[in-house]
Structure 1
Amino acid sequence: MTMIPEPIPFTPIELNAIRSSHQVRTFNIPIYQRLYSWGHKEINRLLKDVLDAANKDPGRDYYIGNITLHHNKISQCFDIIDGQQRLTTLWLIGSVMRSIGCQGWDLFLLADGSPMLGFAARREDERFLRSLIGANIDEPAEIVDEDINLIMVDAIRSIKEFLRELSASETERLSGFFLRQVNMVAIFLPDSVDLNKYFEDMNNRGLQLESHHILKATLLSHIDPELQEGYGKIWDAVAQLDQYVEYGLDGGLSFNRAKLLNIDVRIMSFFNAGGNGSDLPTLETLIGEGVKAGRQRQKEEQDPDMIREKVGSIVNFPEFLLHCLKLFLKGSDTSGLSVEDKKLLTGFETYFNISDADRFIRHLFRCRILYDEHFIKSINTEQGYCWEIRGIRQMDPSKDEYVRTCAGKDALLVQLQAMLNVSTAPSLWFTKALAHLIQEGDDQIRLLEVLGTIDRSIAMNFLRGKRLSSVLNNGTGTNRYWFYNLDYILWKEWTTGSLKLPVVRIEDHREKIRNFQFRDNRSVEHIYPRNPAFDTWSTVPIPEGVDEKIKDRFGNLALISVNSNSGYNNQSPDQKRWDFIHRTNKSGIESLKLAFAYGHEDWSVAAMIQHEQDMMSVLRRYHNLPEEEPILSEGPVTQ
C-alpha cells in the first residue's frame, strides 16, 4: 500500500518542504481542468473570511479546505486534481502582497525563480504568472496579451481593491496570517489511482452532502412524523432557487400559482399535502439527494409541453436560509448572526430553538413566495441575461390561468435592485427589504420607496462624513458603488424625462438607454489614459501641478468590464469614443456615465470638468448633499 503523507499546512516553509522532500519542483494544473473562474464575490469572501479570522484569533490556525494532489513522476511536479481554483487564488493574492512590499512570499510563489504554479498546455497563463513575479501590477491589463484568461486580470484588481480598504499595518498583519496560520489539508492520491476515472467520477457525482441537507434532517426530526413528508416537500421546493417555487410543488403550474397568490389563507394546504407519515431521511438518503441536486427533476405536469424555466438567484440557498432566520428571530439580538453560507450550521446552532422547526419552515416558505414575487432574477435571453421581476398574474379573469410576467411599473424596482445587487452585499439591503414585505405587505410602490431609503443610507455610510469629491476622485481606488449608483440615477432621471444632458450619438439611443442592464463590471476606465500613446490632451488654464493628476478625477473615469478595459488600452479619447459607439451599437450600453461623457465630442480638460460637475450634481441632487466648491480649487485626490 502506498504511504499517504501527513496533511501539509499552507505555509511557504511547508510547501517548499513538499518540493524538496518529494523532489517536486512545481504544482501543475492538468489540461483537463477548467480555466480559472473565481470572480469578485468568491475572492472577496475568501479575503474577508481570512481577515476576520486574523482579527478574531491571530494565533489560531485557519483551514480553508482541501487540495487533492498526485505526484507526477515524469514531470516531477504535483498535479492538482482538486482545489486548483483556491490554490490559484492564493497564488494571485501572494503576488499582489509581494508587489506592495509584503515579505516572505517568495518560497510559496517561486520555484527556481519561476512560478510555483504551472498550467499544462496553457502557456499564455504561465507567461502571465511569470510576468507578475517582477511586475508592478497596478494595471495588469497592460502586461497581458489577447489570449490570456482575463478573469485572472480581474481577480488581481479585486484583490487590490480589497487591500486598498486596509491600512498598511492591517495589510501586513493579513499577509503574515496567510503565511503562518492559513492551512489547506493536502490529500495525496496513491500511484495506483486511475486519474482519468477518478476525475470523471468526481465530476459525475454531482453535489456532495451540503450543510443545508444536514439542517433539513435536523429540523424534520423535530416535526410530527405525520407531517414530515409535506414539510420535506416544501423545503425541497424552496431550496431550488434556480427556478420559481411552483415548479417544485406537486400539481400543475396554474393550480399552484393560484394558491400562491393568497399566502395567509391557503399556505398550509401545501404542508398538508402527502402528510401520511414517512421515515425521517437518513444520512444515506440525504447524500443521495445531494448527488441528485442540480439535475433537473422529472415531475408530472398538467401541461406535458411545459418547459421548466431556469433563473438566476441573487443569493444561494444557505444564504437565503440565514436571511430568513434573521427575520424569524425578530426582536432578538442577531448582530452576531452572519449571513455567509459557510456559517449556516453555526448560525442555527447558536441562535435557533429547534422546537420552532415547524414554524420556521412555514416562515421560510412565506419568504420564498415573497422573494419570487418581488425580487429580481437573472433571465437568459438571446441577447444575454437580463434582470426581471415576474409576479403571478391572472391574465384573463374569465379563465383559471395564472402566469409569471413582468409589469410595466416594475422597471424602477428592477433597476434599483439590480444596482444594489452588483454594487453591495445582500446583507446591506436584502434582509431589510424582505422584512418590509413581511411586516407591511407587498405594495411594490412602497417597496421602491423603502429600497430608495436603504440606498441613500448605504451612500451615507460610504461617505462617512467626507465630502463627495474626496471619495470620488481616487482613480482606480474609487469605490465601485458610486459608478453603479450614478448609472442608476442617470437611467432613472433620463427615462422619466428630468435629465437634460447631451448623450453620445448611437443607434436607437432611447431604446438602448431604456434597456440598460447592470453587469458585475469591476474595471475602472480612464477616458484619457494614464499612459497615453499620443500627444497630451488639449487643456484650459488650470492650477499648476494639476494636469497630471487630473486623470484620476471622477470626471475622467467610468466602470466597465475587464475585457472592454483591455480592448480600449491606451487609445486616444477620440479612438475610445469611436470604439464605444461601435460596441454599443452592437451589444448595448455598458456604462451610462461613459455614454454621457462621450456626449462631449472633444474630450478636453474643459469637457472633463464639465462632465464631472454634471455627474456630481446628479449624485448630490439624489442624495440631498450640499454643493461644494469648484472642483479644481483643492486639487485632485491622488490614489
Structure 2
Amino acid sequence: MNRVRSQTETIARLCKEGVALNIPSYQRPYVWPAEDVEKLLTDIAAASLDQQPHYYIGTLISSRSRAHANPEAEYSYELIDGQQRSTTLTLLALAFRERLPNHALAAMTRLGAQPRLTFMIREQAQAFLAKEADLQPDTQLDNAALASPYLSHLHQGLKAARQRLKQMADAGQDLGALADYLYEKVVWVNNIVPAGMNLNRLFTRINTGGVQLEQSDILKAQLLRKIHRHKRRYDAIWQACENLNNYFERNVRQLFPHSDWQKLRFDALAQFDAERFRQEENDQAETIGQTLAELAAEVDVQLGPEHGPAETPSAKEDDNTVYCRSIIGFPLLLMHTYRIFRAERKEGDISCRLNAARFGECFDDFVQNGNEADAIAFIECLWRVRYQFDRWVAKWLQRDDDVEHLHLGSVTLSESKGVKRLSRFYPELTPDLVQLQAVRNFTGERSAQYWLSPFLALMMKRTPVTNGDASNELKSMDIALRELERIDNVLSLAQNTQKEASFALLCGQKSECDPPAEIEDHLRKPLGTGFAHYWFQKLEYVLWKRRDKLPFLDEKRWRDFRIASKNSVEHVHPQQHEYREEQLEPDILNSFGNLVLLSPGENSSYSNQDPEKKRVDFERKLTYDALKLAHIFHLMGKEQWNAAKIERHRQSMLELLLQHYQAG
C-alpha cells in the first residue's frame, strides 16, 4: 500500500544530501509581505538568543523524484504545499550570504550552477534567485520587472531581510550564531507523497481546503524515530488519537480494520491491546505515514463543513452523518497527556504554562532524553487518555438545528441488518456533567483548560467496565460528575495557581484552598461588571442541578436551557433608567443580586428598560436566558424590583452556592 512518509527537515540536511527544491507550475506566485519575512527572522533570532532547541515552521507536503530541473542534485522535492515558507527560507539565506558568504548557510542559495530553489516556467523569478546568489551577476532586472507579480514580493522580502540583519548587526548581535541556528535548528516536517500520483489535483484540493499545520507533527516524527520495532503500530495509534474531529472508536476502526468489530464493546478501547487491535496480518512493513486515501479523506474534511465527520463507524456504513468538534486542539491534548504521563511516573509537572504556544518547550526534555521504552509508553498513554476524553468530555455538535451545542453521547454495540457496530446515542436532556464542563470551558484560562488533566487521570483510575449495561453506565456518569464537581470546587478556591492546583489534584494531593466563606465575602462587594464571569456561570450550574427543587422553573422552558458562552453583565435595575429620575444607591445597583450574565444580544434586547418590561420580555421567550434571571423575576412578581428584593435574591444565591460547596 502506498503511504505518505513523514520526516523532519533542516536546511543543513537539504544541503548535505544535495536536495533540490522545485516549485511546480501550478503554484501561485510568492506572496509573503515584507513585514512577515522580517517577523520570521526576528522570531528565529529570539529563539536563538533564548537557546531554544529548535524553531518549528510547520509542515510541508512534497513529492520526491529524481532531479530533472537541476542535474547536479541527488534528488528533488516538488513542493505541493509549503512553497511560501521554503521561498522565505531561501530569501533569508540570500540575506545572510551577502554578509557571511563563507557560512554553510550560503549553500541553501545554490546547488551547483543553479539556485537550489527552482521556479518551473518562471524565468524572471529564476533569474532573480540566480542573480542574488551570484550565479548570474550580470543579469539586469529593471524596476518594471521587480514590480511584476512574480518578483515584487521576492524583491521586497529580500530587501526587508537585509535591512533587519543590518539592524541586528548594528545592535551587536552575533550574526554567525544566528546563521548557525537558522542552518541547523529551524525545522519542519516533510510529508512525502509517493511518486506517480496526480500532484496538480492533490495540490488544488489541499490549497482549497486549507489543511491545518500542527506542531504535533514534529513530535510524532521525533518519537517514532526512537521506536525500532512495530513502528507502524505506534504510527497508527498516533493517527487514531490525533483526529479530534472524529470519534475515537471510528478512528480506531479505520486504522485497525482486522480487529473483531462484531464483538468489541467500547470498554475494550480503554487501553491498547496489540492482540485485539490488529493490522494487516502478513504486512511487516515499517512504513510511516498515512495512506493516500486517508490523506485525501482529511482534505475532504477541510473542503466540507468546518468540523470533520464523526459518524459511526464509517461514512459508507451510515448515512446519518454527525459532525463534531473538540473543545481543544490535539497539541493541547498532548500536553495534558504528558502531565498525566509524568504523574504516573511520580515525576513533577511540566515547567511551562499549559498553552499550545509552549508546545515545543513542553516536550523538549522528553525528546532529548527519552528512549524507545519512553516513547512507546507515552503513545500508549495517549491512547488511554484519548479514550477517556471521548467518553467523558463533551464535543461540539450540530444535530437537529443549525446551532452548535456541547453534547456527550454514550456508546453501545448495536446491530443493523446483521452487522454489529459501535454507535453513539445522545440524551434529549443535557446531562449535568455537560453543563458543568460548559462552565469550565467558558471561564478561566480557556487556552489551558486545566481541569482536563486531573479529570481525565481520575477517570482513567476510577471508571468501571460497564459492558454496555445501562445501570453501570449511570454509575460511571455519577462518578464522573462527582469528580468534576470536586475538581471545579478546588480550582475555584485554590490559593496557588491553576496549574499548580490542577497538578496536585492529578497526583491525588491536597491543594491549599480558601474557605467557602471567602466566596460570600467576595460576592457581597458591589463590584458591578467587575465580578468574574465564573461566578455567574457556576451559579447557573447550581440552579440547573437543583431545578427539580425550584418549583418556579417551567419545565418546558428549562429543558432546552444550556450554559453557553456569555460575556455581558446586565444590571436588572438599569444604571440609567429609561423613565425614572431617581436611582438606586450605587452599592445596590452594583450588587451581585442585581446582576445577570447574558450574551451581548440578550443584553442589548433588554437595554435600559424598566425591570417590569424586562420581565414581560423574558416570559415571552421559549427558553430561559439565564436561570438566575428566572429566579429574579419570580421573586419580583408583579411588584417593583427594589433594594430589599435585590438583597433577598443575593442572599438566596449565596446560600445555594455555599450548600453546593459543603455538599462536595
| TM-score of Structure 1 vs Structure 2, range by shorter chain | 0.5 to 0.7
Distance 1:292 1:361, change over 3 A: farther
1:311 is paired with a residue of what secondary structure?
Answer: strand
Within-5 A mapping of 1:510-549: 510-536=555-581, 547-549=585-587
Distance 1:290 1:392, change over 3 A: closer
Separation (CA, whole Å) in 1 of partners of 2:148 and 2:33: 12
**Cα deviation, residue 408, structure 1:** 8.6
The equivalent of 1:371 in structure 2 is 389
TM-score (structure 1 length as normaliser): 0.59
Q: Deviations over 1:326-347 (max 9, x none)?
A: 1111211115243311222221
Q: Letter of the 1:554 partner, please give it.
A: F
**Cα deviation, residue 535, structure 1:** 0.3
Matched, 1:267 2:273: yes
The equivalent of 2:95 in structure 1 is none
The equivalent of 2:131 in structure 1 is none
Equivalent position to 1:423, from 432, 443, 448:
443
Within-5 A mapping of 1:218-617: 218-224=222-228, 227-248=230-251, 249-250=253-254, 251=257, 255=261, 258-263=264-269, 267-269=273-275, 272-274=278-280, 276-281=284-289, 294-295=302-303, 301=314, 303-330=316-343, 331-351=346-366, 353-355=370-372, 356-383=374-401, 384-394=403-413, 400-406=420-426, 411-425=431-445, 427-442=449-464, 443-461=476-494, 464=514, 466=518, 468-471=520-523, 473-495=526-548, 497=549, 499=550, 502-503=552-553, 509-536=554-581, 547-582=585-620, 584-585=621-622, 588-599=623-634, 600-601=636-637, 602-617=640-655
Q: Tell me, which stretches of 5 or more residues in structure 1 are unaligned?
A: 11-52, 67-81, 83-189, 504-508, 540-546, 626-639
Tell me, yes or no, if the aligned pair for 2:262 and 2:421 is still in contact at 8 Å: no
**Cα deviation, residue 468, structure 1:** 1.8
**Cα deviation, residue 517, structure 1:** 0.6
Separation (CA, whole Å) in 1 of partners of 2:210 and 2:480: 38
**Cα deviation, residue 598, structure 1:** 1.3
Within-5 A mapping of 1:92-241: 191-193=147-149, 204=208, 206-224=210-228, 227-241=230-244
Q: Deviations over 1:244-272 (max 9, x none)?
A: 11222324999288254223676324654
Tell me, yes or no, if the aligned pair for 1:208 and 1:291 is still in contact at 8 Å: no
**Cα deviation, residue 427, structure 1:** 3.7
**Cα deviation, residue 593, structure 1:** 0.5
2:412 is paired with a residue of what secondary structure?
Answer: strand
Separation (CA, whole Å) in 2 of partners of 1:3 and 1:318: 26
Tell me, yes or no, if the aligned pair for 2:389 and 2:456 is still in contact at 8 Å: yes
The equivalent of 1:78 in structure 2 is none
- Shifted more, 471-480 versus 482-491: the winner is 471-480
Q: Letter of the 1:531 partner, please give it.
A: Q
1:617 is paired with a residue of what secondary structure?
Answer: helix
Tell me, yes or no, if the aligned pair for 2:263 and 2:420 is still in contact at 8 Å: no
Tell me, yes or no, if the aligned pair for 1:217 and 1:281 is still in contact at 8 Å: no
Separation (CA, whole Å) in 2 of partners of 1:320 and 1:395: 30
**Cα deviation, residue 477, structure 1:** 0.8
1:294 is paired with a residue of what secondary structure?
Answer: helix
Q: Tell me, which stretches of 5 or more residues in structure 2 are unaligned?
A: 1-29, 40-45, 59-83, 85-145, 155-203, 465-475, 496-512
**Cα deviation, residue 412, structure 1:** 2.3
Within-5 A mapping of 1:39-54: none
Distance 1:610 1:445, change over 3 A: same
- Shifted more, 467-476 versus 430-439: the winner is 467-476
Separation (CA, whole Å) in 1 of partners of 2:301 and 2:226: 24
**Cα deviation, residue 446, structure 1:** 1.9
The equivalent of 2:139 in structure 1 is none
1:530 is paired with a residue of what secondary structure?
Answer: coil
Separation (CA, whole Å) in 1 of partners of 2:263 and 2:241: 14
Separation (CA, whole Å) in 1 of partners of 2:435 and 2:330: 23
Q: Deviations over 1:19-54 (max 9, x none)?
A: xxxxxxxxxxxxxxxxxxxxxxxxxxxxxxxxxx9x
**Cα deviation, residue 476, structure 1:** 0.7
2:302 is paired with a residue of what secondary structure?
Answer: coil
Separation (CA, whole Å) in 2 of partners of 1:407 and 1:254: 28
Distance 1:385 1:290, change over 3 A: closer
2:575 is paired with a residue of what secondary structure?
Answer: coil
Tell me, yes or no, if the aligned pair for 1:259 and 1:266 is still in contact at 8 Å: no
Larger radius of gyration: 2
1:258 is paired with a residue of what secondary structure?
Answer: coil
1:386 is paired with a residue of what secondary structure?
Answer: strand
Q: Letter of the 1:423 partner, please give it.
A: T
Q: Letter of the 1:431 partner, please give it.
A: S
**Cα deviation, residue 572, structure 1:** 1.6
Tell me, yes or no, if the aligned pair for 2:440 and 2:449 is still in contact at 8 Å: no
TM-score (structure 2 length as normaliser): 0.57
Separation (CA, whole Å) in 1 of partners of 2:594 and 2:547: 21
Q: Letter of the 1:404 partner, please give it.
A: R
Distance 1:216 1:270, change over 3 A: farther
When the two structures are aligned, how many residues end up with a matched partner?
A: 433
Identical amino acids, percent of aligned pairs = 24
Distance 1:223 1:259, change over 3 A: farther
Separation (CA, whole Å) in 2 of partners of 1:518 and 1:535: 33
Tell me, yes or no, if the aligned pair for 2:262 and 2:420 is still in contact at 8 Å: no
**Superposition CA RMSD, Å:** 4.4
Tell me, yes or no, if the aligned pair for 1:222 and 1:354 is still in contact at 8 Å: yes
Separation (CA, whole Å) in 1 of partners of 2:32 and 2:413: 66
Tell me, yes or no, if the aligned pair for 2:315 and 2:321 is still in contact at 8 Å: no
**Cα deviation, residue 435, structure 1:** 0.7
Separation (CA, whole Å) in 1 of partners of 2:485 and 2:366: 30
Distance 1:573 1:4, change over 3 A: closer
**Cα deviation, residue 223, structure 1:** 2.1
